[in-house]
Amino acid sequence: MADRYLRFTGTAPGRFLTRRLGLPQPAPLIRWSPERPALDGGLLHLTAGRSALGLAPVLARTGIGPAGSGRAAAVVLDATGVRTVEDLAEVHAALHPALRSVAASGRVVLLGAPLDPADHHQAAAQQALEGFTRSLGKETGRGRTVNLVRLTDAAAAESTLRFLLSPKSAYVSGQVIEVGAPQEAPPPDWDRPLAGRTALVTGAARGIGEAVAETLARDGARVVVLDVPQAEQDARRVAERLGGTALLLDMTSADAGARIAEALPDGLDLLIHNAGITRDRRLVNMPSERWISVLEVNLASVLRTTDALLKEGTLKRGGRIVATASIAGIAGNAGQTNYGASKAGVVGLVRSLAPRALAEHGVTINAVAPGFIETRMTAAVPLFIREAGRRMNSLAQGGLPVDVAETTAWLAHPASGAVNGQVVRVCGQSLLGA
């Protein structure tokens, strides 16, 4: 459904009226397209504290050149060397004069270091960057985003920096992403990094799942569109359009994992758990079948099929698992105790399995946690609730299915092997939750 308020605020009368009334003034977001693959403008590379990160070669490969005298498309502040409260003054000194030069829909990325358990002063200073990032994201406005990346190796963070410094991350803000040691060499082709890889996307016949399948296919993957038999027509339509194949089965069936393995004898590189349902009702009015069905689809089936595909070796080494959580599982939502529980369970799965999946199977697992995303489901939400959902984030608007898809594609990227066990909210920095 069209966001009429967003269009109205883009007009001269709309800007005047909303400014006078103190109403949100969302800015149209710049998203990736073949015609506009990069942000407009240059990049400011700043430093706070003493850093030996060697970041310049990586930034040079992101496609954004150095900023000139005009507005900057992005600012990257290397704060990995910040170790004391006094060092934090350099964060202020670096960004205070630079922020006014960041263009609308620009990017601010802070780079921090992992917290040192042996140095509580360093840990305090680095943790301060998180509060700083989230607060700055809520005040920059005009479609700008602010994120923090914790890292020790610049090369390992290249795919992450390319994502955050591009139009693909338009609806990702206020996030803290940890990047570990590098796992694989970068792909030979950054424009089609998934060429030769097979991706299975569940719930891919429509909505967010369809957008994910489309984005992975754009990046070169052979896509298997999985959905329930009732969605056969839509699933086959999507698969045919993307040059992939349709797989019709119920993910809640006990043999779902075995049937997927049988359908993919050559193995699987990317497992995208997108299928999910809602059966909203307050707990006092919720019959057991509503509880059971949501937990079964959204969580139990994810656990079973993941376990089965890892055990059978269907998911190849170097593979990626991306599961769909939700801000409802992080912040909670009235009328969604079942849904919130299921999505919080996905977060627990990711954080627990990540180190073992990597060590034992060479596979990473991460989650995307969408906020208010414009879909047919949200279009059916009552008007005032829908408008509140759209405005309750730092970007003051709903996201699009492609925003979730682009984040999924980054996590699925061959060069994203150093990103593991992360839960990344795609919510425009929702004002709810952490």
Helices within 155-249 (DSSP H only): 158-164, 207-218, 232-242
Element (H, E) at 378: helix 376-379
The per-residue pLDDT for range 218-263, each reduced to its tens digit, is 999 999 999 999 999 999 999 999 999 999 999 999 999 999 999 9
How many angstroms separate the CA atoms of 189 and 192, rounded?
Answer: 6
Per-residue confidence band for 352, with pLDDT thresholds at 50, 70 and 90: very high
The DSSP letter of residue 430 is B
171 catalytic per annotation: no
Per-residue confidence band for 268, with pLDDT thresholds at 50, 70 and 90: very high
- Smallest CA-to-CA distance from 274 within 341, 174, 199 is with 199
- More confident: 112 or 384: 112
Q: What is the DSSP string of 21-49?
A: HT---PPPPP--BTTB-S-SSEEEEEEEE
Mean of the per-residue pLDDT values of the chain = 94
Fold designation for 198-426: Rossmann fold (3.40.50)
- Say what the pLDDT of residue 433 is: 72
- Region 10-29: mean pLDDT is 85
Domain 31-178: state its class: alpha beta
Q: How far is CA 278 from the centre of its chain?
A: 21
Torsion sign, CA atoms 55, 56, 58, 62: positive
Task: Say how many residues make up the chain.
Answer: 434
The residue from 339, 354, 426, 428 that is catalytic is 339
- Region 354-371: mean pLDDT is 97
434 pLDDT exceeds 70? no
Per-residue confidence band for 388, with pLDDT thresholds at 50, 70 and 90: confident
67 pLDDT exceeds 90? no
- More confident: 348 or 1: 348
The per-residue pLDDT for range 389-415, each reduced to its tens digit, is 889 999 999 999 999 999 999 999 999
Pairing of strands 268-273, 315-324: parallel
Q: Which of 170-174, 243-247, 338-342, 376-380 has the lowest mean pLDDT?
A: 376-380
272 pLDDT exceeds 80? yes
363 pLDDT exceeds 90? yes
- Say what the pLDDT of residue 2 is: 73
The per-residue pLDDT for range 284-299, each reduced to its tens digit, is 999 999 999 999 999 9
CB 397 within 8 A of CB 378: no
For the chain, give every domain's residue range.
Answer: 31-178, 198-426
1 pLDDT exceeds 70? no
Per cent of the chain over pLDDT 70 is 99
379 pLDDT exceeds 80? no
State the burial class of residue 329 (Cβ atoms within 10 Å of its Cβ: 0-12, 13-18, 19+). Answer: buried
